[in-house]
Chains A and B, each alone.
Chain A
Amino acid sequence: MSLLALSNISVRYGRLTAVRGVTFTLAEGEILFITGPNGAGKSSLLRAIAGVTPPAGGRIDFADHDITGRAPEDIARLGLSMVPEGRDVFGSLTIEENLMVGTGMHSGTRGWRARAASELEAVYATFPILKERRHSQAGLLSGGQQQMLVIGRALMTTPRLVAIDEPSLGLAPNITDQVYERLIALRAERKLTLLIVEQSSTRAMMVGGRMMLMRGGEIVLDGDARALGQSEAMQAAYFGYGEH
């Protein structure tokens, strides 16, 4: 049974088509990297899944719900948490407030305060630096800390699937290593399903899992990350060799 299923999804901005006819399914607990060059439509696809940019056509199912065209806040409530590109922390709020924002949507359900408190402790345990600075303004954090904060914020909603757009963007390699280390650990702990967009396939090859390559709004390759990464087909597809 798949957790997420896309069929024939397309995304358009005016007359520009960013994503054309993407179809795939993602099983619970899987880790999927979507890679591809600039402008391949990776982020647009992610935004369509999270409901931020409603798809122009196709259908998306998540956890047995048809979420096509639903509002992002509704989709988040179903357990699909997106971390948008660019580490957009709520800059004027403190770290702790940033983390608590996401728990608001469970308010009113039984025991949500206790659950929010334990989620908070869990995020602090994963990212101790956040606990250390929990009363500072999030806008004052360094890039790596902000990345940890937005991932932590996504985890606070107790999601089943976390979709992250370019977690390594603008981070030094050793910080990226740390972020990924935590993500992989979380996936094992919570049976989290991960969908990660990265421009380069290097990270996917290191981590392993499934990898898809997008180009020109379409999925051109889909397979095991390590196997694909070493194949010539990957190189050819990424750079578009042999099409001229």
Chain B
Amino acid sequence: MARYSILRRTIATPLILSALLLAFALIAWFVGSRPFNQTVIDIFLQVVFVVGLYTFIGNSGVISFGHIAFACLGGYVAAWTTIKPMMKGTAMPGLPDWLMQMEIPFWAAALAGGTFAAFWALVFGAVLMRLSGIAASIATFAMLAMVNAIYSNWSSVTAATSSVVGIPIVRSIWPYMIAAILAVFVAWAFSISRHGLALRAARDEPTAAAASGINIPRVRLIAFVISGAIMGAGGALYAHSIGLVTPDTFYLGLTFTTLSMLVVGGMGSLSGAVLGVLILSSLIQVLRWLEAGVQVGASTFALPGGVQEIALGVVMILILMFRPSGIMGNSELTGLRARTEKPVEPGTD
């Protein structure tokens, strides 16, 4: 009964977020321009990544710098399973025969990428989840560096640092939108689940959580695996959106963009994860247009190049100055008025 009530009370959040994502897709569909389409696809992929990050970071409170490693694992699964066998033979001759012959559709590659990443999340997580605080964060970063080093050097299987091309490109926005919405629902379902609840309790008060019978490393591991799966699937789709992968596609750049989107949106909130992406990506897009030049009457107005990065940095600083816990903080979009209950004055006891 209590379970049912928590479901009913919180279902509005993923529904509102899905509606927002659908709205972005519809805009792209109506505009119908190829570059804009690509931008919206990028936004959906970022949503998948940031929601994947939220699933672990938001619920556990442990910052992970390593999740993009799982996207890397997923991206290469897409390369291994969808490129034409002939092309694979030249680029990655070391692949086992069954993998060499494999040619599966992109959505199956996304599922395979998610599964492969989840498996490695389980292996890495079994060790990492015993750590906490900054030690855990540094260890996740080490994991990212390890994966990057392996993929940059294992030339017979990953073509080392050169680009692996020939991944079938999927240009329709709908699969990406569906993936983003699925990620939102998975993240939501986890955070209201028994394990999600336990993990959030452990984030707030580890001692009291352990005294309430919560095995903290275990619930953290569950979140790590689920978020790894989301990242892996996202990585595979990312590969299909641009048609190629290199180890550095999935390294520091993507790590810091996705993390800053999560921080700006609000680490403890699923709505924050999605809004962080939508707001920052929209801002980047607007700045790009302005840099390219806009017609105002007879004259063309254009910002000098490089303003995009600076403006983005300024906006992020401003948001974090005035809302240090991100745009959403710990709260979610619920469709009702935001919960604005005032704390009872301590003196009234």
On whether the beta carbons of B200 and A107 are closer than 8 Å, the reply is no
On whether the beta carbons of B213 and A157 are closer than 8 Å, the reply is yes
On whether the beta carbons of B2 and A92 are closer than 8 Å, the reply is no
Chain A proximity of B12: nearest CB distance (Å): 14
B211 proximity list for chain A (CB < 8 A): 50, 52, 72-73, 76, 81-84
Per the 8 Å Cβ criterion, residues 1-60 of B in contact with A are 1-3, 5-6, 9
On whether the beta carbons of A90 and B344 are closer than 8 Å, the reply is no
Q: Which A residue's beta carbon lies closest to that of B268?
A: A92
Which of B171-179, B287-295, B335-343 interfaces with chain A? B335-343
Measured in the bound complex, the distance between the Cα atoms of B207 and A117 in whole Å is 25
Which of A21-29, A93-101, A195-203, A226-234 interfaces with chain B? A93-101
Which of A8-16, A31-39, A135-143, A182-190 interfaces with chain B? A135-143
B195 proximity list for chain A (CB < 8 A): 104
Indicate whether B208 reaches chain A with its CB closer than 8 angstroms: yes
B1 proximity list for chain A (CB < 8 A): 117
Secondary structure of the B contact surface, majority rule = helix
* Total count of chain A residues near the partner, CB < 8 A: 48
Given contacts A90-B201, A113-B3, contact A105 B214 (CB under 8 A): yes
On whether the beta carbons of A145 and B200 are closer than 8 Å, the reply is no
A172 proximity list for chain B (CB < 8 A): 349
Interface 1/0 per residue, B97-109 and A, CB below 8 Å:
0000000000000
Given contacts A90-B200, A96-B2, contact A105 B346 (CB under 8 A): no
Chain A proximity of B296: nearest CB distance (Å): 47
Q: Which B residue's beta carbon lies closest to that of A106?
A: B213
On whether the beta carbons of B209 and A92 are closer than 8 Å, the reply is no
Per the 8 Å Cβ criterion, residues 12-67 of A in contact with B are 50-52
* Total count of chain B residues near the partner, CB < 8 A: 36
B9 proximity list for chain A (CB < 8 A): 135
B339 proximity list for chain A (CB < 8 A): 136-137
On whether the beta carbons of B349 and A77 are closer than 8 Å, the reply is no
Given contacts A88-B205, A104-B197, contact A73 B6 (CB under 8 A): no
B90 proximity list for chain A (CB < 8 A): none
Interface 1/0 per residue, B306-339 and A, CB below 8 Å:
0000000000000000000000001000000001
Measured in the bound complex, the distance between the Cα atoms of B211 and A71 in whole Å is 9
On whether the beta carbons of B198 and A101 are closer than 8 Å, the reply is yes
On whether the beta carbons of A142 and B330 are closer than 8 Å, the reply is no
Q: Which B residue's beta carbon lies closest to that of A47?
A: B207
Measured in the bound complex, the distance between the Cα atoms of B5 and A161 in whole Å is 30
On whether the beta carbons of A144 and B201 are closer than 8 Å, the reply is no
On whether the beta carbons of B212 and A171 are closer than 8 Å, the reply is no
On whether the beta carbons of B212 and A101 are closer than 8 Å, the reply is yes
On whether the beta carbons of A150 and B204 are closer than 8 Å, the reply is no
Chain B proximity of A157: nearest CB distance (Å): 6
Interface 1/0 per residue, A113-151 and B, CB below 8 Å:
100110010000000000000011101111111000010
On whether the beta carbons of A92 and B348 are closer than 8 Å, the reply is no
Measured in the bound complex, the distance between the Cα atoms of B347 and A143 in whole Å is 9
Q: Which B residue's beta carbon lies closest to that of A135?
A: B9
Chain A proximity of B197: nearest CB distance (Å): 6
Q: Which B residue's beta carbon lies closest to that of A144?
A: B349
Indicate whether A167 reaches chain B with its CB closer than 8 angstroms: no
Question: Which of A84, A116, A140 contacts B207, CB < 8 Å?
Answer: A84
Chain B proximity of A100: nearest CB distance (Å): 6
Indicate whether A153 reaches chain B with its CB closer than 8 angstroms: yes
Chain B proximity of A92: nearest CB distance (Å): 5
Indicate whether A217 reaches chain B with its CB closer than 8 angstroms: no
Indicate whether A175 reaches chain B with its CB closer than 8 angstroms: yes
On whether the beta carbons of A93 and B204 are closer than 8 Å, the reply is yes
B198 proximity list for chain A (CB < 8 A): 101, 104
Indicate whether A91 reaches chain B with its CB closer than 8 angstroms: yes
Measured in the bound complex, the distance between the Cα atoms of B270 and A206 in whole Å is 49
Indicate whether B162 reaches chain A with its CB closer than 8 angstroms: no
Indicate whether A69 reaches chain B with its CB closer than 8 angstroms: no
On whether the beta carbons of A93 and B197 are closer than 8 Å, the reply is yes
Question: Which of B194, B209, B348 contacts A142, CB < 8 Å?
Answer: B348
A225 proximity list for chain B (CB < 8 A): none
On whether the beta carbons of A97 and B213 are closer than 8 Å, the reply is no
Chain A interface (Cβ < 8 Å from any Cβ of B)? 50-52, 71-73, 76-77, 81-84, 88-93, 96-98, 100-102, 104-105, 107, 113, 116-117, 120, 135-137, 139-145, 150, 153-154, 157, 171-172, 175
28 A-B contacts (beta carbon < 8 Å)? A52-B211, A71-B210, A72-B207, A73-B213, A73-B216, A76-B210, A76-B211, A84-B207, A88-B207, A88-B208, A89-B204, A89-B205, A90-B200, A90-B208, A92-B203, A92-B268, A92-B330, A96-B2, A97-B197, A100-B197, A107-B194, A113-B3, A116-B2, A135-B9, A136-B341, A140-B341, A141-B343, A171-B349
Those 9 A-B pairs whose CB atoms lie nearest each other, nearest first: A105-B213, A76-B213, A72-B210, A142-B344, A90-B204, A88-B205, A102-B212, A90-B201, A140-B343
Given A96-B2, A105-B214, A143-B349, 20 further pairs, Cβ under 8 A:
A73-B214, A76-B212, A81-B211, A90-B204, A91-B205, A92-B203, A97-B6, A98-B201, A100-B197, A101-B197, A101-B201, A117-B2, A136-B341, A137-B339, A140-B344, A142-B343, A142-B344, A145-B344, A154-B212, A172-B349
